[in-house]
Amino acid sequence: MDFLIHNTGWIEVVCGPMFSGKSEELIRRLRRAMIARKRVQVFKPVIDDRYSKSEIVSHADVRMQSLVVSGASEILSKLDWRTQVVGVDEANFMGMELIEVAGQLADSGKQVIIAGLDTDYLGRPFPPVPDLLAMAESITKTLAVCMRCGNPAKHTQRLVGSEDLIEVGAAGQYEARCRRCFEPGLPRQEMLPFLRPRTAPFEEDP
């Protein structure tokens, strides 16, 4: 986004499945802003304390200090008015207020860089990220490596049985899968009627 002129705010979104490098890309962009001597603040939701309570941490252990908030509205109360670049990780846990907050920050001249899951464990759009994509000046979709076949992976496969939308976890509970290898938890793909093999023509369903 080097072409944007001085004093203009904007929104950049980095989205994709787990393990696709969203946090690493967010940290890379924020480090560059710091090198450019911009004032940077980074926020993460309190719900994500997988590796650290006060840092954003990537799966390859790249780290950056961050402020912890319970939801997007707390970003505004913890914001230093001199901050020029605002980073947000795990946008999918920040709540719908992030749409309003990101818009306000960008309108007030700040560069807002947001990272988060674009789809949930069933492959559905994960609020509020789809709305943020519509609002953003710049969108980057990161892909992981499918743990089944090695192809580019856009899905987050849940390996445990929970049906809660939010089940914070990492390796062991989730893995990256491509379109072909992804098996949404419910309904299982082989249970869809048009895919179910019919053994006996007049057999009744149990």
- Torsion angles phi and psi, residue 106, rounded to 5: -65, -40
Residue 22 vs 158, nearer CB to Mg ion: 22
Residue 156 touching Mg ion (CB under 5 A): no
Of 13, 21, 23, 157, the residue at the interface with Mg ion (CB under 5 A) is 23
Residue 62 vs 122, nearer CB to Mg ion: 62
> Which amino acid type is present at position 106?
A
Residue 20 touching ligand ADP (CB under 6 A): yes
Three-state secondary-structure class, residue 67:
strand
Give burial (CB, 10 Å; 0-12/13-18/19+) of 193. Answer: exposed
DSSP 8-state assignment for residue 5: P
What minimum distance in Å lies between the beta carbon of 80 and ligand ADP? 25
Stretch that binds ligand ADP, among 15-23, 98-106, 131-139, 196-204 (CB under 6 A): 15-23
Query: What are the C-alpha distances in Å from 22 to residues 19, 41, 62, 134?
Result: 8, 17, 11, 18
Gap between the Cα atoms of 132 and 179, Å rounded: 23
| Residues with a known catalytic role | 90
**Residues in contact with Zn ion, shown as a per-residue x/- string from 124 to 163 under the rule CB under 5 A:** ----------------------x-xx-x------------
Binding residues for ligand ADP, rule: CB under 6 A, are: 16, 18-24, 58-60, 144-145, 147, 176
